[in-house]
Amino acid sequence: MTSDAPQLTDTAAQLDTVAAATERLFTAAAALREADVVEPSLLPGWTRGHLLAHLSRNADSLVNLLLWARTGIETPQYASQYLREADIEAGAPRALREQLEDLSASAERWLALARVMPADRWSTVVRNRQGGEIPATRVLWMRLLEVEIHHVDLAVGYSPADWSPEFVARLLPQSIAEVRPATGGFTVTATDTGYTGTVGVPDTTVSGTAADLTAWLIGRSPGTGLSGDLPDLAAWK
């Protein structure tokens, strides 16, 4: 069981949040040098080029889900896992200018479609690429996750400490619900917000700021700044 966390409920507010996060990401990417694109990101095996290509194709994949919700015609997020990976590999070595143009255009396509979605279509159930059924409103959160987490992965000085309190307050309970420890269970306690959550049958407690806890749970930190016996975690979804 986990303590309650606030969630954005207003669609327009959520879209404004995604747009602002996207602008921060784009500004950071635009400050890269050409040689930086082929340098490693914080994701094992991926360069910054892989990451930028993935962000662009993810926006297009979420366009597919919005079209599904709007028209009622089933449109898979990705045609296949193979094509998803192939598109990322093909896009990774592109020049910085091409990456930035694609990143901007794909984000604008998604935002433009989301802003004109009829209100009664947001409750339409679609499926994510793992096959899970979700209401179309969840697509807004999916895009925000991609932008904010991969901004950190871009290795340009943006860290989990830069995430907004509202973003962390929503992601921390989700990460608790989805994380899988290698053995045993544990409790987390956020020293700055008072949030507590448990995984399995706890035999240890891990404490730290909400942002530090979240970063550790989703594999974006080895646990720097946390106290307690940190269990080994399986890779986050």
* Tens digit of each residue's pLDDT (9 = 90 or more) over 114-126: 999 999 999 999 9
pLDDT at 4 (0 to 100): 37
Mark whether 116 and 50 lie in a shared domain: yes
- Residue 222 located in a structural domain: no
Q: Which residue has the tokens 């000085």?
A: 157
3-state SS track over 80-108 = CHHHHHHHHHHHCCCCHHHHHHHHHHHHH
R_g of the chain computed on alpha carbons: 18
- Residue 70 phi/psi, 5-degree rounding, is -75, -40
- Residue 223 located in a structural domain: no
Mark whether 52 and 166 lie in a shared domain: no
| Rounded mean pLDDT, 38-54 | 97
pLDDT for 3 beyond 70: no
> By percentage, how much of the chain surpasses pLDDT 70?
96
- Residue 169 located in a structural domain: yes
pLDDT for 113 beyond 50: yes
Q: What range does the domain containing 188 cover? A: 162-217
pLDDT for 16 beyond 50: yes
| Listed residues 118, 134, 158: the one ending a domain | 158
Mark whether 20 and 83 lie in a shared domain: yes
pLDDT at 234 (0 to 100): 84
pLDDT at 184 (0 to 100): 82
Quick: pLDDT tens for 177-225.
999 887 789 999 999 999 999 999 999 999 999 999 999 999 999 999 9
Q: Where are the beta strands (DSSP E) in the chain?
A: 125-127, 133-135, 185-190, 196-199, 202-208
pLDDT at 235 (0 to 100): 82
pLDDT for 23 beyond 70: yes
- Residue 104 located in a structural domain: yes
Mark whether 95 and 49 lie in a shared domain: yes
160 confidence band (pLDDT: 50, 70, 90): very high
Poorest-confidence range of 5-9, 91-95, 129-133, 229-233? Answer: 5-9
**Nearest of 126, 163, 129, 115 to residue 57 by alpha carbon:** 129
Mark whether 35 and 106 lie in a shared domain: yes
pLDDT for 8 beyond 90: no
The structural domain count of the chain equals 2
- Residue 232 located in a structural domain: no
pLDDT at 5 (0 to 100): 38
Q: Which residue has the higher pLDDT, 2 or 229?
A: 229
Mark whether 125 and 139 lie in a shared domain: yes
- Residue 5 located in a structural domain: no
Poorest-confidence range of 16-20, 150-154, 202-206? Answer: 202-206
Mark whether 140 and 213 lie in a shared domain: no
CA 31, 35, 37, 41 dihedral sign is negative
CATH number, domain of 37, equals 1.20.120.450
pLDDT for 29 beyond 90: yes
Q: Using DSSP bridges, classify how beta strands 185-190 and 133-135 pair: parallel, antiparallel or unpaired.
A: unpaired
Mark whether 28 and 139 lie in a shared domain: yes
| Rounded mean pLDDT, 92-120 | 97
